[in-house]
Chains A and B, each alone.
Chain A
Amino acid sequence: MRGQLTNVVVAGLGGQGVLRASDILADVALRAGFDVKKSEIKGMSQRGGSVTSDVRFGQAVLSPMVPPGEADYLLVLEPTQVDPHKHYLKPGGTLILPDAVDAGKLPNKKTLNVALLGALSAHLPLPEASWLDALREAFPAEFFEANRQAFLAGRNGPTEKK
């Protein structure tokens, strides 16, 4: 049998940075030496519709899509998007919502996606240095510091809800 997989679903609305967040997560997992797959439906993302992205990593990943009921983590950037996506979570899986971070500690509202990655990162076997390297590559240099702060605010912030 294959080794264990980690399944993460990131959900939100078009324009919130769902795809960027899942890009960064997938990049970190790749840097950490895992097999990674990421799948998304984005055709309508610029028209404000729901956007969902699945990231799976482990020794060997097959299907790129997280089956419903098998997500270890569900990261939701917009509270209205919990209902349409909660069926992805496995029993005992972890739901990470915007209130997982102290909004007052964010440099700006646009960094919420990165802050929630920070909250997620506290659960994952991925080194902090890889996260910071991935963040550095994901944004223009002038935005790195704000994203680093947001990431750390999430990583050290209030704990998530079960």
Chain B
Amino acid sequence: MPSSKRQLLSGDEAIALAARDAGVALGTGYPGTPSTEILERFSELGGLGQWSPNEKVALEVAIGAVFGGARAITTMKHVGLNVAADPLFTVAYTGVSGGLVIVSADDPGMASSQNEQDNRRYAVAAGVPMLEPSDSQEAYDFMFAAFEISERWKLPVILRATTRVCHSYTVVQPREPNGAPNSPKFERDIRGRVMIPANARPAHRRLRQKLAEIEAWNESSSLNQIIPGSRSLGIITSGISFMHAREAAPDATVLKLGFTHPLPLKKIAEFANSVDRCIVIEEGDPYLVDAIRAAGIKVEGKPEMYRFGELDVPRVRRILHRDTSPEAPKPSGKPPQLCDACQYRLVFDALHKRDCIVAGDIGCYTLGVLPPFEAIDSCVCMGASLGVGLGLRHVLPADQARRVVSVIGDSTFVHSGISGLVEMVYNPPPDGHVLIILDNATTAMTGHQEHPGTGRKLDHEPTTKLVLEDLARSLGVKRVHVVEPRVGANDFERVLDECLASRELCVIIARRPCILIVKRLRELELRDQEQCECEKKEAPCAAS
């Protein structure tokens, strides 16, 4: 595809195109709304995109790539950066050789998330530069800027987008692909990259020195822009809030911050002094307003009620009018539900009938919380079903403890359930425990991505398959059952009753492909067979 054509792209697609055009050698990540489409599109565009088991591993693989001098990106949703926080904080110390951009896709308003944490806090906490695009063109352009900043100061850069940037389509004019500046090559740097305390202490000082330099540079960076207007109202804003603010107050003077950590505080002070009323319009946490006020600059912030949920044009108008009257509730549409033919309906029905105490997890199956099942009692974060279920088993009176079950999906289990399973065999509760892995052979909630347990890579090409039952047995679980939940068969309920009564450690793998991927699976299997036969013949093959 010629990329110089003016085109309508989502923010995610624009990031992917920029990654391709900037010569990114490796893109890693774990699926999560609203970030998932970035790596998928990057792969479609010919880039090497890989799903990792989780975000921590994804970032570590990317760190390896940039230690080798290549350009890399890692993509994840906001909560994914919690998982990847461990490498993040220390790669800020080690620095990078090739450019590294970490895309954090936040979800204010929680369209499809368990919290609405504001990851701009991570840039401050870890001490890494951060850019915030406000539409797809900026998402595209800021990727190039992020690589330049990353390579100039040898630091990872966070590109922080939000749902309305990732999933809105706006016009993008791409530039000519220019590729990466360097070819990968290993250069030993033991003091720079081996973070034993003796090396980490000077590394921390180096990091703070770099941030001071970057802050000075950011004072005149073109990533921050002033849109001239009336002096009576000045608005300081970033990201998607810029668009809402411009529409709500077309006559205001606006300082649009694109490079939001470290902040250009001198520029902000000058701006605030140049207008009669200066107000900060930002979605989520009071990140900008707190930092600006801490620097002694007088600005107005939004009332606390606007910290919750997304901003839009009407809400920005209310903020500008200091309107704190209650907002009209949004009419609710039809909520999502488990598909009519979903095999998990049988599982949740069985758990509901037995009044099980269910430690749940993250995925479509979290919808088992809704009527008529109401068969999920907790959902905290990826992988938490194991630990939470075990904790309940340890402390509850026996008659309740014996009804506790952990329920987790296949992709979520691989993401961060495996260490929970190790905990289960290491610290078994007195009356055992029952783990149900809902194995539908895909990462369904985010749009059916592959994972290590499907035996296919991001682009659906075959690879080594992680066999869940073999893994459980190898960890020392004696009772491992694989059953197919089917209408009209009671195998699942029979196995569940046996396990609940056994007072031992049990893993039940409820295996049946998601109804929405059955057709794709058939096509892929057919393709694999054809390829296999071609290879046997050792003849040139058209079916590739």
Contact = CB atoms under 8 A, between A and B. Distances in A.
Please list the 6 inter-chain residue pairs (A to B) with the smallest Cβ-Cβ separation, ordered nearest first. A50-B333, A43-B112, A47-B336, A49-B336, A44-B336, A64-B168
Given A84-B331, A84-B332, A47 B169 contact: no
A35 interface: yes
Contact of A50 (B33, B169, B171, B334): B334
Interface string A9-27: 0010110000000010011
Nearest to A60: B246
B74 to A, nearest CB: 21
A40 B338 CA distance: 21
Contacts of B335: 44, 49-50
Contact of A62 (B247, B331, B338, B339): B247
B314 interface: yes
Interface residues of A, number: 38
Given A35-B171, A38-B168, A43-B33, A30 B8 contact: yes
14 contacts: A14-B336, A30-B171, A35-B171, A36-B171, A40-B167, A41-B111, A43-B112, A44-B112, A48-B337, A49-B337, A62-B247, A64-B135, A64-B164, A64-B243
Given A26-B8, A68-B314, 20 more contacts: A1-B250, A11-B333, A30-B6, A30-B7, A36-B8, A36-B170, A37-B170, A38-B169, A39-B169, A41-B163, A43-B112, A47-B364, A48-B339, A50-B335, A62-B243, A62-B246, A63-B243, A63-B247, A80-B334, A84-B333
Nearest to A52: B333
Contacts of B331: 83-85, 87
Contacts of A14: 336
Contact of A49 (B164, B169, B170, B333): B333
Given A36-B8, A43-B34, A63-B247, A49 B334 contact: yes
Contacts of A41: 111, 163, 167
Contacts of B250: 1-2
A40 B313 CA distance: 16
Contacts, number: 102
Interface of A: 1-2, 11, 13-14, 23, 26-27, 30, 35-44, 46-50, 52, 61-65, 67-68, 80-81, 83-85, 87
B167 A46 contact: no
B244 interface: yes
Nearest to A30: B8
Interface in B162-193: 163-164, 167-171
A65 B244 CA distance: 9
A132 to B, nearest CB: 18
Contacts of A50: 333-335
B326 to A, nearest CB: 16
A44 B246 CA distance: 30
B311 to A, nearest CB: 9
B367 interface: yes
A96 B244 CA distance: 27
Contacts of B367: 47
Contacts of B219: none
Interface string B336-364: 11110000000000000000000000001
A52 B333 CA distance: 9
A47 B170 CA distance: 26
A63 B40 CA distance: 26
A46 B36 CA distance: 15
Nearest to A83: B331
B447 interface: yes
B312 interface: yes
Contacts of A26: 8, 169
A36 B6 CA distance: 12
A36 to B, nearest CB: 6
Chain A interface, DSSP helix/strand/loop, else mixed: mixed
Nearest to B315: A67
B167 A36 contact: no
A30 to B, nearest CB: 5
B170 A67 contact: no
Given A30-B171, A80-B334, A84-B331, A47 B339 contact: yes
Nearest to B136: A37
A22 to B, nearest CB: 9
Q: Kindly name the residue among B164, B314, B333, B339 whose own CB sees the greatest number of chain A CB atoms within 10 A.
A: B333
B174 to A, nearest CB: 15
A119 to B, nearest CB: 22
Best-buried of B33, B171, B339 by chain A (most CB within 10 Å):
B171
A85 B34 CA distance: 23
B516 interface: yes
Interface string B240-265: 10011011001000000000000000
B171 A65 contact: no
Contacts of A47: 336-339, 364, 367
B280 to A, nearest CB: 18
A36 B243 contact: no
Nearest to B6: A30
B111 A43 contact: yes
Nearest to B36: A43
Contacts of B313: 63, 65, 67
A111 to B, nearest CB: 21
Given A50-B334, A67-B312, A37 B447 contact: no
Nearest to A54: B168
A52 to B, nearest CB: 7
Contacts of A68: 314
A70 B112 CA distance: 26
Contact of B314 (A35, A42, A62, A67): A67
Interface string B320-334: 000000000001111
Contacts of A36: 8, 169-171
A46 B312 CA distance: 25
Given A46-B516, A67-B313, A84-B332, A39 B243 contact: no
Interface string B1-23: 00000111000000000000000
Nearest to B33: A43
A40 to B, nearest CB: 6
A93 to B, nearest CB: 16
A37 B333 contact: no
Given A37-B168, A37-B170, A38-B8, A81 B334 contact: yes
